[in-house]
Structure 1
Amino acid sequence: MSQIDPGTSSWLRTRNDREALRLFLEHGALTRTRLGELSGMSKPTATQMIARLERADLVAPVGEVAGSRGPSAVSWGVRNDRINGVAVNMLDDGIQAVLVDALGTPHPIIELPVHGVERSPESDVGRAIEAACAASGAERSTVEAVTVGLQAAVSSGSDTLSLTDTLPGWPSEGSRERIESSLGVSATLENDVNLATMAERAFGVAQDAGSFALLWIGVGLGIGVDLGGSIHRGAHGGAGEIGYLTVAGRPGEPGAVTTALLGSAYVMNLAGAPSTARYPQGVAAIAADEWALREIAARIAVTIEPVLAVLDPQLVVLGGPTSLAGGDRLAELVGEIVLSEERPTPSVRLSTTGDSAVLAGARRLLVEQIRSRLEDRIPTQ
């Protein structure tokens, strides 16, 4: 956006138009009278703001509101077909994706197989964009941004990835640049557990926590660390990769990597899942198995011991498919073990962001990016 001198009529118009757009995004469809009330502007000024936003293709009439007397009033709403994004979750055995618009409208979540498919950052994300657009009836040309959740340590500043066990075809350097140059979109790459942690802070059980750690228990393990509303990523994006930490499973037992102690292979075996079962469906039985829940809780307590000792979080959130299968009872058992330790202890809660927490975190980032892009399209003259 070009520079405008503060206090000039052009500056005031742009400022008012940005505020009007924010009100449309926050409140939905508005009449000129309601926009005037919310913005503190007169009806004529509200009419002018709407006219400018309509000329910029940012709002359009969406209906009429009947008044107590006189004719119905036209209501306007944000055009959510101007800019879209796609949230992507790269799983070990597939890809999840969903279209995202400025209003955060619910769209279908699609799942794509990866077995037997040639992999690369641009091909994986390109397939996800095409499928998400097809499922929602959106034009591919409207997609300007993607946020991709990865089971990897992500250093966004240097565009490098490490610990990429589940990402065949993705190079250690340059993945974001390849996506952007090949697909013509702005790309944000982020660790999947960090995205789930953002979702937990935004609308989960951690909204009021000063600090918290989210232990993700899935095919592998990860820790998301939120310190006062900011994600702690570490110097190279590797903070929270607790699945690679070696600890003792029980006193007297040899050391083991935490993924071996709590990963999907162990939990599937504990649940007695048949060899043909797939994770996470195969671990649903643990919810009714008190002995299994206690075994898992004991291993969780061992796994998070270093986190508690180093970070001393106010809250520990259990997330991921295994945690959701174990339910509130699993969180209760972990809390009992942690409480027995001779030190100040955090509360332990089950995640409430559901089984699409990674996509939810990615969607939240994209909504903010899309809204910022819409604001940038407001004329400055």
Structure 2
Amino acid sequence: MTHIDPGTSTWLRARNDRAALQLLLAHGPLTRAQLGELSGMSKPTAGQMLTRLERAHLVHRVGEVSSTRGPTATSYGVRGDRITGIAVSMHADTIQAMLVDALDTTFPIVEIPVEGLERSPERDIRAAIEAASRAAQLDEHTVAVVAVGVQAAVWPDRDSISLTNTLPGWPAEGSRRRIEDALDVEAILENDVNLATMAERASGVAKEASSFALLWLGDGIGVGVDLDGVIHRGASGRAGEIGYLAVHEGNGEAERTDTTDLLGGPAVVALLHGESSALDGDGVSAIATDSAAIDVLAGRVALALDPVLAVLDPAMVVLGGPTCLAAGESLSAFVATRLSEAAHPELDVRLSSIEVSPVLVGARQLLVEQIRTRLEARIPVG
């Protein structure tokens, strides 16, 4: 990064241009007069800022705004095609992906079948980049960063992932570096439930919570922990991996050995249909009208949450993932009655409000910030 002495005209220009870019990102397209008013700069200075940003290919002219007191004015907007990212959600047999830009534009979600194919980190992410870029009708060479949600514990400092049953072909160490070396992009690997937790903080029911725990029930189970807006990952990235917690005798579930046996996808299907199988939409949808099954499920959820609540004492618990969403608001009400009011008198139990691809929503949130930072870094300093 080029060093600029504070207080010089070069420093001031770069500072003003950065402020202009941030205002355009926050407010959308602006005219010279509008930018001047928002920034506190004169119209000529605002015009110079826009000219420099346009020359750097960071903004472009997007339309004309009519005026009752003079000629029409040109409006300028940030270019979304300069730097993009790809949000990815890894599943055992499919990959979901979507392109992300600095404007937080909504692009199509693509689903890539990978069952039976040769797998590797770079092969999987290359397929995601190509498919998502094609669906968004943007050049894949604009992709600078990918955020990948994995059903695994992620230790960024060591570039290692563990508990990787759903990632065939991905090594325990070095996956991030393999993606970056092969595809020339920055790769951010993150636990999928942590990404869903970020989504809940940004745009879900936990926006105003001081702290919360997201219990995710799907094929597997996990907990995401948000403490004052910060994801708690633990020393080695394994915080929230409660599927391996032992279930002790004397709680009415003596035949279960761990919480995955209680709440994993096969256990929920067995609860509903009498025999265990993989979780799918048809298999779990029946729970919505089965109050007896919801009651049993609520008891199991309360059992799994007890140690989480005892250690963290969050202000809110959010119930998310396919199983919880299928059970609906009845589940959150049943769970609230099962938890001890004496032990958790102020606890708020809520159903997640993010129904479509919360892992991608969280990855998208992460990428928008990354892309905007990269755009700012392209502001000329000379």
Q: Same fold (TM over 0.5)?
A: yes
Kindly tell me: are residues 23 and 343 of structure 1, through their superposed partners in 2, closer, same or farther at Cα, counting changes over 3 Å? closer
Kindly tell me: are residues 60 and 252 of structure 1, through their superposed partners in 2, closer, same or farther at Cα, counting changes over 3 Å? closer
Query: Aligned to 2:106, what secondary structure does the other structure show?
Result: coil
Q: Is the 8 A contact 1:86 1:98 kept in 2?
A: yes
Deviation (angstroms), 1:251: 3.0
Query: Aligned to 2:171, what secondary structure does the other structure show?
Result: coil
Deviation (angstroms), 1:303: 0.6
Counterpart residue number, 1:300: 301
Letter of the 1:22 counterpart: Q
Query: Aligned to 1:259, what secondary structure does the other structure show?
Result: helix
Q: Hey, what's the Cα distance between the residues in 2 that align with 1:16 and 1:161?
A: 42
Q: Hey, what's the Cα distance between the residues in 1 that align with 2:254 and 2:279?
A: 29
Letter of the 2:380 counterpart: P
Query: Aligned to 2:144, what secondary structure does the other structure show?
Result: strand
Q: Hey, what's the Cα distance between the residues in 2 that align with 1:152 and 1:269?
A: 25
Alignment of 1:1-381 (within 5 A): 1-248=1-248, 250-251=251-252, 253-272=254-273, 279-340=280-341, 342-344=343-345, 346-381=347-382
Q: Hey, what's the Cα distance between the residues in 1 that align with 2:274 and 2:189?
A: 34
Kindly tell me: are residues 217 and 106 of structure 1, through their superposed partners in 2, closer, same or farther at Cα, counting changes over 3 Å? same
Query: Aligned to 1:190, what secondary structure does the other structure show?
Result: strand
Letter of the 2:175 counterpart: S
Letter of the 1:61 counterpart: R
Deviation (angstroms), 1:342: 4.3
Query: Aligned to 2:17, what secondary structure does the other structure show?
Result: helix
Q: Is the 8 A contact 2:61 2:74 kept in 1?
A: yes
Q: Is the 8 A contact 1:95 1:111 kept in 2?
A: yes
Query: Aligned to 1:17, what secondary structure does the other structure show?
Result: helix
Which runs of no fewer than 5 residues in structure 1 stay unpaired? none
Sequence identity percentage: 60
Q: What do you get for the CA RMSD once the two structures are aligned?
A: 1.6
Deviations, residues 329-381 of structure 1 (Å, cap 9, x unaligned): 11111011114454545210011122311000000110000000000000001
Deviation (angstroms), 1:268: 1.8
Kindly tell me: are residues 174 and 216 of structure 1, through their superposed partners in 2, closer, same or farther at Cα, counting changes over 3 Å? same
Deviations, residues 92-113 of structure 1 (Å, cap 9, x unaligned): 2211000000001000000111
Deviation (angstroms), 1:269: 2.5
Does 124-133 or 201-210 show the bigger shift?
Answer: 201-210
Runs (4+) of structure 1 exceeding 6 A deviation are: 273-277
Q: Is the 8 A contact 2:96 2:111 kept in 1?
A: yes
Does 248-257 or 260-269 show the bigger shift?
Answer: 248-257
Kindly tell me: are residues 258 and 86 of structure 1, through their superposed partners in 2, closer, same or farther at Cα, counting changes over 3 Å? same
Q: Hey, what's the Cα distance between the residues in 1 that align with 2:89 and 2:297?
A: 26
Deviation (angstroms), 1:254: 4.0
Q: Hey, what's the Cα distance between the residues in 2 that align with 1:341 and 1:167?
A: 42
Equivalences, count: 381
Letter of the 1:237 counterpart: G
Kindly tell me: are residues 220 and 101 of structure 1, through their superposed partners in 2, closer, same or farther at Cα, counting changes over 3 Å? same
Kindly tell me: are residues 103 and 343 of structure 1, through their superposed partners in 2, closer, same or farther at Cα, counting changes over 3 Å? closer
Query: Aligned to 1:355, what secondary structure does the other structure show?
Result: coil
